[in-house]
Structure 1
């Protein structure tokens, strides 16, 4: 990863133009390109980079400048860094569980050295980050308007291919989306409450159904889910299970116990009426009942 985001992308060479041209051709350098300017303001390019590896088919540069000649009359010579850089942008994505902090690993490079010099693009990552922020905000708004959310699959689908900053001569693409712990981040989408509807994405539905089943299954399922996410808290979960045994295993009763408890709440008159009914029922069954002749 590039930790020197403030380094200049190009600098003015101090040697005569013809020496810079010969030096560049002899060294066959691939980490830099040579941009020359003559008195008329025309630019010439030596060592133009193409697209980086694994980014798809080659796309022609917006400005194809002529190659410089040793005998040309040049007033300025610039060496432009064309190596690939990798930086990280922290982002807070809205999900059904609240904000999810992720890191976007972004590769960026000089696609058009002449444009870099013309636009005086000295520090590339600042330009890339500003463009990336704008694209992410527009992508979030588009996803919300469609009634869905923005997650890692959507980001990789839209930004996993090269994005070209034609005015500054730079290109970039998102390499990966990874979970992160803490730190400053770009917050996208709506906050709690409003964010739940917008975070309903296909990639989250399985997790949502799993949590819904866990809630329906009751306290035992929730305790097991907690232990799965926090395996170091076995003792705390066991203590909670012992203290809340009635929640995990509700006391069982049968109809006889419930009926006996109900009879204890009856008045004397109600007991007499039930006794008469019970006596007549037993007598009809041919059972001996006190006070009734056989």
Structure 2
């Protein structure tokens, strides 16, 4: 599961065409198809055509190439891989936390063996990967135009169904999106320095609630969230915490200090009235109070 070339999708056989035809007809294997080309340049095919889970797999999807006859005058015979392949594509999705690294798990296969041979599609994953990257960029641009975000639900909605590469006879679909830990990725959307244009959708409700709680918790929670996303910046976060102690631990005053501050703002008349009230209260408790006459 890499971006490099894989095994060839087809190869030319050395045996006589009639032997290949009989061998394919008698074979119970479903992992390869036979494509033949005659002297006139016409193509013929025996074997699997269509999608892997298609009940009508023997019916061609695009190519109308007929089945070959044993006595035909054929110049080339090819065996084409008919198995379903699985590979991954690394991408970076923009989120409110920064760029999220994920792997797209992609299933791909040959739906038309004749088109594969005609297009000389030797390495199928390279062609699928290129088409997938283009489709993702188009999807990201379309989401940005409508003001919506691009995430796993959007990718699965648009690319979860079979995508056909008609000219090369290949098909693929994205069947899963998983978090990954690698820097080798295709970056989609805006760079972090430009800010992330992101809109909340029902699928992002959990992320919205989490961010809302982090904001309510204050600077300490936000600093912890930043450290979680950037564990290599511990020293910078510590320096920031030291320089902004008043944000992380704001100074507290008890009620006595607040009351003293309030008393300092009163007028002489207001302080005198409060003194009388306080004297009467203390006297009622049975305590001796100073004489305030004069």
Same fold, TM-score > 0.5, yes or no: yes
TM, length-normalised to structure 2: 0.79
In the TM superposition, 1:74-89 aligns within 5 A as 74-89=74-89
Does the Cα contact within 8 Å between 2:89 and 2:106 map onto a contact in 1? yes
SS of residue paired to 1:183: coil
Residue 168 of structure 1 aligns with which residue? 168
Q: How much does 1:7 deviate?
A: 1.7
Task: Supply the distance in 1 between the matched residues of 2:273 and 2:4 (Cα, whole angstroms).
Answer: 95
Task: Supply the distance in 2 between the matched residues of 1:275 and 1:164 (Cα, whole angstroms).
Answer: 87
In the TM superposition, 1:138-177 aligns within 5 A as 138-177=138-177
Q: 1:216 to 1:14 in 2, by over 3 A?
A: same
Task: Supply the distance in 2 between the matched residues of 1:228 and 1:119 (Cα, whole angstroms).
Answer: 48
SS of residue paired to 1:198: coil
Q: How many residues align?
A: 277
TM, length-normalised to structure 1: 0.79
SS of residue paired to 1:107: strand
Q: How much does 1:50 deviate?
A: 2.5
| 1:253 to 2:258 alignment | no
Does the Cα contact within 8 Å between 2:160 and 2:174 map onto a contact in 1? yes
Task: Supply the distance in 1 between the matched residues of 2:2 and 2:248 (Cα, whole angstroms).
Answer: 54
Unaligned runs of 5+ in 1: 231-236
Task: Supply the distance in 1 between the matched residues of 2:275 and 2:89 (Cα, whole angstroms).
Answer: 85
Does the Cα contact within 8 Å between 1:21 and 1:70 map onto a contact in 2? yes
Does the Cα contact within 8 Å between 1:95 and 1:199 map onto a contact in 2? no
CA RMSD of aligned residues (A): 3.7
Task: Supply the distance in 2 between the matched residues of 1:190 and 1:246 (Cα, whole angstroms).
Answer: 31
Task: Supply the distance in 1 between the matched residues of 2:41 and 2:142 (Cα, whole angstroms).
Answer: 42
In the TM superposition, 1:51-66 aligns within 5 A as 51-53=51-53, 60-66=60-66
Moved >6 Å (runs of 4+): 55-59, 223-230, 279-285
| 1:113 to 2:103 alignment | no
SS of residue paired to 1:153: helix
Task: Supply the distance in 2 between the matched residues of 1:46 and 1:10 (Cα, whole angstroms).
Answer: 14
